[in-house]
Amino acid sequence: MSDYFLGIDGGGSKTRAVVVNADYEVLGRGEAGAANHFAVGVATAARNCALAAQNALENARELDSSFEAANVRSWGFGLAGVRREADAIRMRDALSVVCIVPFALETDVVAAHAGAFAGATGIVVSGGTGAITFGADEFGARVYADGWGPILGDEGGGYWVGVEALRATCRALDGRAHATPLAISVMEHLDVREGDELVQLIYSPNITRDIIASLARVVSRCAEEGVSEAIEIRARSAQALSRGVRCVGKALLQSRQEMGAPPVEMLIALRGGLFEDDFLRGTVGFNATEAMVELKRDYLPISGWRVVKAQHDASVGAAILGQLSL
């Protein structure tokens, strides 16, 4: 009898679930709506987790008739918005209703780290709707940078980029700046023709963070076409994301130094839709390398560094966390 594990990666835009075997091979996949309780509420977040899980289980059965859901030994959740213990407790209570097997609950970036490095020391830079950098080592040290949400932080993330694009558009609309292809592209993307329509749309109850974050693709396209405002917004996004790498790397290495631990190779992985942009991926990767060079010059215990492709995605990482909780 085979053992299976279910992992759920839930963020502000959508929730992804996978069923894996003991070798972390994906047997089924499912999706549902957002599972960040700050965005959709605790009850809806839990329902979307359950729906994504159900879809993954059904997909596994479709692909392999011998698959038995009863052999799923644990669920693992990597969810945005559960970094504070009070929030984790609220979500844990809601998830206990939909999950009938043992489960683990961590933040989405912790799940991404588990999937990326399978326990090795490393730093994950997550650039999606929001933005957060997380590092952990074999001694249990954990360090976060940003991830404060759309009002307090998430600098460089998709929503932040979208807001910057909207502000640039408004400057063009009222004459504080010259009209550029970026403003035109933003208006076309949102299907509005004038400023009043833009205001109505953006402040309507139907607008979502996901819709605003989708403007990051508009900025990326305009930057590739040489539009100066888009180039500047994208460059500032790269700078903000890069700062998190140095901050987290320094804290992890200082912790090792205080413990007298030996030098370590620092692995760095970039995840999230923002890094589909070649410039952002290349720039943040280069800046991360430069940051590690500086930390080595500061005599911190680092033997080397590599920007690597994640071994597994965050949903598989969540399944790993669930397995480890048994």
Cβ distance 301 to 253 under 8 Å? Answer: yes
In terms of domains, do 205 and 286 share one? yes
Question: Do both 133 and 80 map to the same domain?
Answer: no
56 & 185 share domain:
no
* Residues spanned by the domain of 70: 4-118+312-324
Six-digit token pair at 63? Answer: 């692909």
CA atoms within 13 A on the CB side of 307: 17
Q: Reading across the β-sheet that carries 15-20, which strands appear in turn?
A: 26-32, 15-20, 4-10, 72-79, 103-107
- Verify that 140 and 61 share a domain, yes or no: no
Alpha carbon distances (Å) from 237 to 134, 162, 221? 17, 11, 15
Task: Give the span between the Cα atoms of 64 and 62, in whole angstroms.
Answer: 6
Q: Does 112 share its domain with 144?
A: no
Taking the CA atoms of the chain, what radius of gyration do you get in angstroms?
Answer: 21
Assess whether 128 and 98 both reside in one domain.
no
* Whole-number pLDDT of residue 1: 60
Q: How far is CA 26 from the centre of its chain?
A: 20
Q: Are residues 219 and 316 in the same domain?
A: no
Return the structure tokens found at 302. Answer: 């680092």
Based on the domain organization, do 152 and 239 belong to the same domain?
A: yes
Q: How confident is the model at residue 116 (pLDDT cuts 50, 70, 90)?
A: very high
The CA distance from 179 to 44, in Å, is 41
Tens-place pLDDT, residues 127-143? 988 899 999 988 889 99
Q: Tens digit of pLDDT for each residue in 47-84?
A: 999 999 999 999 998 888 888 888 899 999 999 889 88
Q: Do 149 and 253 sit in the same domain of this protein? A: yes
CA–CA dist 211, 207 (Å, integer): 7
Q: Which CATH number does the domain housing residue 172 bear?
A: 3.30.420.40
Same domain, 173 and 244: yes
Q: What does the mean pLDDT of the chain come to? A: 92
Task: Tell me whether strands 142-146 and 131-136 are parallel, antiparallel or unpaired.
Answer: antiparallel
Number of domains in the chain: 2
Are 128 and 272 in a shared domain? yes
Query: What's the pLDDT tens digit per position in 240-284?
Result: 999 999 999 999 999 999 989 999 999 999 988 899 999 999 999
Same domain, 264 and 320: no
169-221 pLDDT per residue, tens: 999 999 888 888 999 999 999 999 999 999 999 999 988 888 999 999 999 99
Q: Helix count (H) and strand count (E) of the chain?
A: 13, 10
Give 16-27 pLDDT, tens digit per residue: 999 999 889 999
Q: Do 233 and 168 touch, CB atoms closer than 8 A? A: yes
